[in-house]
Amino acid sequence: MKIILKIQRYNPDSDETPYIQEYEVEADPNERLLDALMQVKRFQDGSLGFRKSCAHGVCGSDAMRINGKDGLACKTLVKDVAKTDGDIITVEPLRFLPVQRDLIVDQAEFFKKYRSIKPFLINDEPVEAKERLQSQEERLAFDDTTNCILCASCYSACPVMSERPAFLGPAAISQAYRFNADTRDRGFEARLKALDHPDGVWPCQNHFKCTQSCPRSILITKRINQTKHMIGKQREKDI
């Protein structure tokens, strides 16, 4: 089928403002949008900039806004976003991160926020057995969050970010939950500085846009609310 890709272009070295460029592509409805973008890059316009690596929804590098929704180009089929011949698909970079070029954003701020929640197991207690044991039920409590590929789709989908750019964002909070809910971890207090902060968990208003956009089906909003609950319980204990 014929599809029209309307892609946001921007080269900060030569363009004053972003603009939309149109490309007509012959694509199989079962192909991925990433294939259509590759077709443009290979045969129509080598100057088009976008990131990709695994092409299988694992590396998280090709997150972008497709028809106004955030997601991975390699997990979006052409038929998911274009129904009939000549349909238009808009492709834009993720929001709330500076555009380096075309669909490539600078993720430094996203990763700075992610690092601020100390996304690693913290436990200085001596290990009694050979390893820190955990039951299957305990492991299941945070199972979905271990699937995060740090693609930043949720960050771009979050309506709170537009009013509050300093907000920690959905990915960082759900990754804090990943360790806070881990029975082997003792780092909850160390993460509180970032989480129990005016720009930490509290600006979340349960819009659920993060959860809807996540290509790994992580229950992000639920994990944010559980983190708020954990902080509330900790405050009660401290009184």
Give me the residues that bind ligand FES (CB under 6 A), please: 52-55, 57-62, 72, 74
HEC-encoded secondary structure of 74-120: HHCEHHHHCCCCCEEEEEECCCCCCEEECCEECCHHHHHHHHHCCCC
Dihedral sign, Cα of residue 195, residue 59, residue 215, residue 70: positive
Which residues on adjacent β-strands are paired with residue 66?
69, 91
List all residues 6 or more positions away from 22 whose beta carbon is below 8 Å from its beta carbon: 4, 5, 6, 7
The binding site for ligand SF4 (CB under 6 A) comprises 148-154, 170-171, 174, 213-216, 218, 220
Cβ closer to ligand SF4: 76 or 153? 153
Contacts of 35 (CB under 8 A, 6+ apart): 27, 78
**152 interacts with, out of ligand SF4, ligand FES, none, CB within 5 to 8 A per kind:** ligand SF4
57 binds, among ligand FES, ligand SF4, none (CB under 5 to 8 A by kind): ligand FES
Give SS3 for 25: strand
- The partner in contact with residue 61, picked from ligand SF4, ligand FES, none with C-beta cut-offs of 5 to 8 angstroms by kind, is ligand FES
Question: In the complex, what is the shortest distance from the CB of residue 56 to ligand SF4, in angstroms, rounded to a whole number?
Answer: 14
Q: Which is nearer to ligand SF4, 38 or 172 (CB)?
A: 172
- Which of the choices ligand FES, ligand SF4, none does residue 76 contact, using the CB cut-off of 5 to 8 A by kind? none
Minimum distance of ligand FES from residue 128's CB (angstroms): 39
Nearer to ligand SF4, 3 or 76 (CB): 76
Pick from ligand FES, ligand SF4, none: which does 221 bind, CB < 5 to 8 A by kind?
none
The binder of 53, among ligand SF4, ligand FES, none, by C-beta within 5 to 8 A per type, is: ligand FES
Based on CB atoms, which residue is closest to ligand FES, 60 or 169?
60
Q: Between residues 76 and 174, which has the closer beta carbon with respect to ligand SF4?
A: 174
Considering the complex, state which of residue 3 and residue 175 has its C-beta at the smaller distance from ligand SF4: 175
Alpha-carbon gap, residue 99 to 205, rounded angstroms:
27
CA distances from 201 to 108, 114, 120, 146 (A): 20, 13, 19, 19
Instruction: Give the shortest CB-214-to-ligand FES separation in angstroms.
Output: 13
Rounded Cα gap, residues 160 and 96, in angstroms: 10
The residues near 65 (Cβ < 8 Å, ≥ 6 apart) are 90, 91, 92, 93, 94, 95, 156
Name the minimum Å distance from CB 111 to ligand FES. 16
